[in-house]
Amino acid sequence: MHPAPSVIIFTSLSGLGFGLLTFLGLGYPDVSGWVAFVFFLIAFALAVGGLLASTFHLGHPERALKAFTQWRSSWLSREGICAVAALLVMGLYALGVVFFDQQWRLLGVLGAVLSVATVFTTSMIYAQLKSIPRWNMVVTPAMFLMFSLAGGALLGGQITAALVLLIFAAAVQLLYWQHGDGAFARAASTIGTATGLGSRGEVRAFEPPHTGTNYLLREFVHVVGRKHAQKLRVISFVLGFVLPILILFVHPGHLLALIAVLSHVAGVFVSRWLFFAQAEHVVGLYYGKR
């Protein structure tokens, strides 16, 4: 899949933002006044910034409101609704915490639940697609949720929680890579099933339909970046998990904590880039490519 910057920024940042909102809604860190204001500002900037980035790849963003209508069947629609609901509820909750020194518990918990639900619905947009076997796994939502919660705990300065969640997130990340590498083969789609000719002999793509490229090849058959995938996995894992976990172990000051956060965010970006760049769409089979 083409790793479009808009979707990488969207899933990474909004995941972190909603992760932080989850912790803020549950009352961790227990802050008020200006400190709370800064925490909420960061969380909303990440969540809203990510959502705005996601509209950049739309052909007709002016019709985006229509995307709230099909929640019965569409995960993308559900995500939009969850995101707006989470932002509204957490906005109200933030008003209470920042300006009235009130923690409206019920509202906060509801906001936290909606924030987690938003990340889950985001992950299901990808996990539902049978046409992309590497995404069509139970591990995909698990990975999105763990990344979001670990990042949220880290941003919220919850050292113990962050440590535990980062270790779990790292484990899920490894599981995702390990499980994902065999996903295409397990899906059992081959050039033989794609053409229906597999039972007659070895099938080979002989001539593509056009001499040039097309929308399908640009969007779904991205092979350029896969060359360095293993190295990028190591980089992503070290930046995203190993370094932050080491820093948290030595109980950091503010500067080290900032480094842990930045390192984690960079690691998440690389991981998300790989998430798209390594995903193979079965339509590539018709072009003899993956």
Partner 1 sequence: MTTLPSSTTRKLGLVIDLDTCVGCHACVISCKGWNTENYGAPLSDQDPYGADPVGTFLNRVHSFEVKPEDSPPQLIHFPKSCLHCEDAPCVTVCPTGASYKRVEDGIVLVNETDCIGCGLCAWSCPYGARELDGAEKVMKKCTLCVDRIYNENLPEEDREPACVRTCPAGARHFGDFADPDSNVSKLTAERGGMDLMPEQGTKPVNKYLPPRQKDSWEGEVDVLAPFLAPVAEEPKGFLGWLDKTLEKL
Q: Which residues does 54 contact at the CB level (< 8 Å), separation at least 6?
A: 6, 7, 10, 14
| Residue 207 binds partner 1, judged by CB under 8 A | yes
Are the C-beta atoms of 261 and 158 separated by less than 8 Å? no
Q: Which stretch binds partner 1 (CB under 8 A): 76-84, 112-120, 171-179, 248-256?
A: 76-84
Q: How far is the CB of 197 from partner 1 (least distance, A)?
A: 5
Q: 215, exposed or middle or buried, with CB in 10 Å at 0-12, 13-18, 19+? A: exposed
Q: Whose Cβ is closer to partner 1: residue 34's or residue 207's?
A: 207
| Residue 32 binds partner 1, judged by CB under 8 A | no
| Residue 80 binds partner 1, judged by CB under 8 A | yes
Q: Which amino acid is located at 236 in the chain?
A: S
Q: How far is the CB of 121 from partner 1 (least distance, A)?
A: 11
Structure tokens at 159: 């050292």
Question: Where in 126-185 is the site for partner 1 (CB under 8 A)?
Answer: 128-132
Q: How far is the CB of 87 from partner 1 (least distance, A)?
A: 18
| Residue 206 binds partner 1, judged by CB under 8 A | yes
Q: Which residues does 74 contact at the CB level (< 8 Å), separation at least 6?
A: none
| Cβ count within 10 A of residue 198 | 13
| Cβ count within 10 A of residue 211 | 6
Structure tokens at 248: 């948290």
Q: Which stretch binds partner 1 (CB under 8 A): 26-34, 68-76, 97-105, 151-159?
A: 68-76
Q: Whose Cβ is closer to partner 1: residue 72's or residue 231's?
A: 72
Judged by CB under 8 A, how many residues of this single chain contact partner 1? 58
Nearest to 241 by CA among 162, 128, 141, 178: 162
Which residues here bind partner 1, judged by CB under 8 A? 1, 57-61, 63-64, 66-70, 72-77, 80, 125, 128-132, 187-189, 191, 193-197, 200-210, 212-216, 219-220, 281-283, 286-287
